[in-house]
Amino acid sequence: MKFREGMKTVCLCAAMLLLLMCGLGAWAQSQAAPAASAPAAAPAPPPAPAMDQPLDVKAAAPPSTDTLAAQGDPGGTSTGTVSDVVVSDTKKGLTLADVVNQAGQNRIAINLVWTLVTGFLVMFMQAGFALVETGLCRAKNANHTMMMNFMVYGFGLFAFWVCGFAIQMGGGAPYSTLGGAYSLNSEKVITLLGKPWGLFGTHGFFLSGATYDVGVMVLFLFQMVFMDTALTIVTGSCAERWKYACFAVSSVFMGAITYPLFANWAWGGGWLSQLGNNFGLGHGYCDFAGSGVVHAVGGLSAMALSMIIGPRIGKYNRDGKPNAIPGHDMVIVLTGCFILAFGWFGFNPGSTLAASGNGALRIGTIAVDTMLAGCTGSFGAILYMWLRYGKPDASMSGNGLLAGLVAITAPSGFVSTVGAAIIGFIAGVLVCVSVEFVDRVLKVDDPVGAISVHGTNGLWGVISVGLFADGTSNYGGSWNGVSGSVRGLFYGDASQLVAQLIGVGTLIGFIFTLSYVAGWIMDIIIGQRVKAEDELEGLDLPEMGALGYPEFVLKPETVTFSGVAAD
Amino acid sequence: MRIVGVVLALVGWLIPVVGLTITQSTSARFILALLGIAVTLFAIMGVLNKAHLKNAIWKS
């Protein structure tokens, strides 16, 4: 005991001595440094060149055009020089103002090209959706299902051009990465309970007037292809019994009103995005590329219409037990999934609307997050199905990939790769559980699983921003007008989660209800569902006038069920 | 019943929205958001969907 006490004292003294020596050393260093002598007076900087004075171009040694004409430039070392800078006044020659303006234009040009090309990728996702949905439906409905996915492009685009874009983006300017788009500066705002609530935009109908602008055009194209993704989701869950005329009317309504309203609230400067500014809730509702705006809107609208239309004949027995109605072509289903995964490289990274400035170099991280979430989504689904049913299921594996991609869409700009992998895996399991719940408990028929893939996992994606956003992104120093980086609950900001939950509540409480009421009215006026005999025959001939596979002999209905018999 | 379901779903949406102006506490807003979501989900699954299942095609 005495020995221990003695050792303690010795160690304490040694530690104190060590500290003293370190302190002495540090003090000695600070004392030893000679006082810096006063710096010599710095020479006066040369006067800055005037912006409008001609520069000495010869000093930049531009290549001779005669030499280029005679020899070409195989190595590329003489192409793209001072000679290519646009000169505003050829009599005066190149000025510093010309060079500075060219730098600005180059930045905007990079951003416009990036946004356009990624928008083209998203447009191609329409083909992916068409293949997935058609493959998961029966062959007798192939033409009808394909035609819904084909024409939703035209119906949606037209509605968006007429009024949807104006409602969505008419008041959200400036869009600095695209040159400003300053004409989109009119938002309908009401003041309620002492706070401003942005409701919808009012500039940009028919893209006319001051919105006939290069930046606005690019923004329109990019937003339009996102809108169309939401619209096409509905066609999957309503397939095999939806009247084509009703599909057309529903698509126009959704492209003109339903989608643009929520998109304005989230992306167009509306009240949801301002929850941070107005109520101190994080950075307001954050949805980087649209888990909520696109996928949840589509999935919840799909659920509303599926409820109204009702299940396919033969889907449920009289006792409510569901029957599996397999699709006719798993090859095109999984090919469609790959096309969607490819297009998602436009969906998420493109949502920076920039590849230069404003933190846009994060596009690589966003792309990797997207890939990872899709990958772990398919893992989650295949594991769940394999463990539960003894076999890896192809259609659910595809849906698992899509669920992961849907879920990562909102958080892709704000999370790390670890966060993305976790979000995706949870999405993969969630989609399987949700499909079973919708099918067996709610008894809502969804031939392709759109409600679970897009609705359930769209909401999960929205919530995951409020959990996993890690505060490392920097898109120009602020988001939704609140300075700093988006941070979720796990990284210190619980209020961000609250903002996301209010977004979830708006999606299920308002958007679902709006879609439901609109669908209900259409059902009363037109009638959403086809006749029973048309449904049993297959919609290709009665609705479209032609078979999707005219040379195939389609086998008669083989689904065994008690209830309505198929002839 | 469908009208009741629609109204209830909208009420569920408005609970957290109006709650924003009543309290500044993050915890209270969190609880109101969850409450609103619960009310809306009940309206959709417990009222609207049930109304549809009453006249489901597979029951005829």
Query: Any CB–CB contact under 8 A between A222 and chain B?
Result: no
- pLDDT, one tens digit per residue, over A475-512 is 989 999 999 999 999 999 999 999 999 999 999 999 99
Residue A38 covered by a domain? no
- Whether the Cβ atoms of residue A239 and residue A495 lie closer than 8 Å to each other: no
Query: What percentage of chain B reaches a pLDDT higher than 90?
Result: 87
Give the closest of A443, A495, A564 to B53, CB-based: A443
Query: Any CB–CB contact under 8 A between A541 and chain B?
Result: no
Q: If contacts are CB pairs under 8 Å, which of residues 299-338 in chain A contact chain B?
A: 303, 307-308, 310-311, 313, 315-318, 320
Cβ atoms within 10 Å, residue A207: 16
Give the gap in angstroms from C-alpha A214 to the nearest C-alpha of chain B.
37
pLDDT at A561: 41
Using the CB atoms, write b or e for A122-140: b if 16+ within 10 Å.
Answer: bbebbbbbbbbbbbbbbbb
pLDDT at position A564 over 60: no
Return the minimum-mean-pLDDT range out of A82-96, A120-134, A372-386, A398-412: A82-96
Instruction: List chain A residues with CB under 8 Å of B26.
Output: 281, 494-495, 498
Helix (H) or strand (E) holding A130: helix A96-136
- Whether the Cβ atoms of residue A237 and residue A305 lie closer than 8 Å to each other: yes
Which phi and psi (to 5°) does residue A119 adopt? -65, -40
Rounded Cα–Cα distance for residues A513 and B49 (Å): 12
- pLDDT, one tens digit per residue, over A245-285 is 999 999 999 999 999 999 999 999 999 999 999 999 999 99
Q: Which of A249, A258, A202 lies closest to A230, judged by CA?
A: A258
Average pLDDT over residues A64-85: 87
Do the Cβ atoms of B49 and A316 come within 8 Å?
no
Maximum distance among all Cα pairs of chain A, rounded to whole angstroms: 103
Do the Cβ atoms of B21 and A495 come within 8 Å?
no
Instruction: List chain B residues with CB under 8 Å of A281.
Output: 20, 26, 29
Instruction: List chain B residues with CB under 8 Å of A517.
Output: 6
- Whether the Cβ atoms of residue A328 and residue A142 lie closer than 8 Å to each other: yes
Residue B58 covered by a domain? no
Query: Any CB–CB contact under 8 A between A516 and chain B?
Result: yes
A312-315 own/partner pairs: CB under 8 Å, 24+ apart: A312/A240, A312/A241, A312/A445, A312/A447, A312/A535, A313/A241, A313/A532, A313/A535, A313/A536, A313/A564, A313/A566, A313/B57, A314/A557, A314/A559, A314/A561, A314/A563, A314/A564, A314/A566, A315/A445, A315/B58
Rounded Cα–Cα distance for residues B14 and B16 (Å): 6
CA count, 13 A, side-chain hemisphere, B28: 9
Ordered alpha helix ranges (H), A268-323: 275-279, 297-309
Query: Any CB–CB contact under 8 A between A506 and chain B?
Result: yes
Residue B59 covered by a domain? no
Token couple for A311: 């299940």
Rounded Cα–Cα distance for residues B42 and B39 (Å): 5
Do the Cβ atoms of A505 and B33 come within 8 Å?
yes
pLDDT at A65: 85
pLDDT at position A5 over 60: no
CA torsion angle A563 B2 B4 B5 (round to 10) = 70
Query: Any CB–CB contact under 8 A between B14 and chain A?
Result: yes
Instruction: List chain A residues with CB under 8 Å of B36.
Output: 505, 509
Give the gap in angstroms from C-alpha A303 to the nearest C-alpha of chain B.
10
Give the gap in angstroms from C-alpha B32 to the nearest C-alpha of chain A.
9
Give the domain range for residue A219.
104-544
- pLDDT, one tens digit per residue, over A456-476 is 999 999 999 999 999 999 998
Give the domain range for residue B45.
2-53
Instruction: List chain A residues with CB under 8 Å of B30.
Output: 494, 497-498, 501
Give the closest of A317, A509, A564 to B10, CB-based: A509
Do the Cβ atoms of B58 and A498 come within 8 Å?
no
pLDDT at position A525 over 50: yes
Q: Which residue from B minimizes the CA distance to A562?
A: B58
A195 forms bridges with which residues in the sheet?
A192
Residue A421 covered by a domain? yes
Between A344 and A357, name the one with better pLDDT: A344
Give how many domains chain B has, as a whole number: 1
Query: Any CB–CB contact under 8 A between B42 and chain A?
Result: no
Q: Any idea what DSSP says for residue A508?
A: I
pLDDT at position A563 over 50: no
Residue B60 covered by a domain? no
Residue B18 covered by a domain? yes
pLDDT at position A386 over 90: yes
Residue A126 covered by a domain? yes
Return the minimum-mean-pLDDT range out of A69-73, A302-306, B6-10: A69-73
- Whether the Cβ atoms of residue A346 and residue A119 lie closer than 8 Å to each other: yes
pLDDT at position A3 over 70: no
pLDDT at position A193 over 90: no
Confidence bin at A6 (pLDDT 50/70/90): low
Helix (H) or strand (E) holding A109: helix A96-136
pLDDT at A17: 60
Rounded Cα–Cα distance for residues B19 and B27 (Å): 12
Residue B39 covered by a domain? yes
Full-model pTM: 0.89
- Whether the Cβ atoms of residue B13 and residue B36 lie closer than 8 Å to each other: yes
Give the closest of B6, B21, B59 to A318, CB-based: B59
Owner of token pair 């109101």: B32
Give the gap in angstroms from C-alpha B20 to the nearest C-alpha of chain A.
7
Do the Cβ atoms of A313 and B21 come within 8 Å?
no
Cβ atoms within 10 Å, residue A151: 15
Do the Cβ atoms of A316 and B48 come within 8 Å?
no
pLDDT at A562: 40
pLDDT at A560: 39
Token couple for A471: 């505060």
SS3 A295: helix
Give how many domains chain A has, as a whole number: 1
Those residues whose C-beta lies under 8 Å from the C-beta of residue A523, and which sit 6 or more positions away, are A308, A309, A529
Question: If phi over 0 gives left and psi between -120 and 50 gives alpha, with beta otherwise, what is residue A137?
Answer: beta
Q: Which residue from A minimizes the CA distance to B30?
A: A498
Residue B25 covered by a domain? yes
Axis-axis angle for helices A330-347, A96-136 (nearest 10): 160
- pLDDT, one tens digit per residue, over B12-39 is 999 999 999 999 999 999 999 999 999 9
3-state helix, strand, coil in chain B (%, to 5): 90, 0, 10
Give the gap in angstroms from C-alpha A90 to the nearest C-alpha of chain B.
60
Q: Any idea what DSSP says for residue A441?
A: I
Rounded Cα–Cα distance for residues A383 and A76 (Å): 52
Calculate the CA A492 to chain-centre distance: 24
pLDDT at A20: 54
Do the Cβ atoms of A502 and B33 come within 8 Å?
yes
- Name residue A107's amino acid: R
Q: What is the CATH number of the domain that holds A307?
A: 1.10.3430.10
Q: Any idea what the Cα angle at residue A294 is, between residues A280 and A356, rounded to 5°?
A: 70
Average pLDDT over residues A216-239: 97
- pLDDT, one tens digit per residue, over A28-41 is 454 445 555 566 67
What DSSP string describes A445-499? --TT-HIIIIIIHHHHHHHHHHHH-BS---STTEETTEES--B-GGGT-HHHHHH
Q: Any idea what DSSP says for residue A56?
A: -
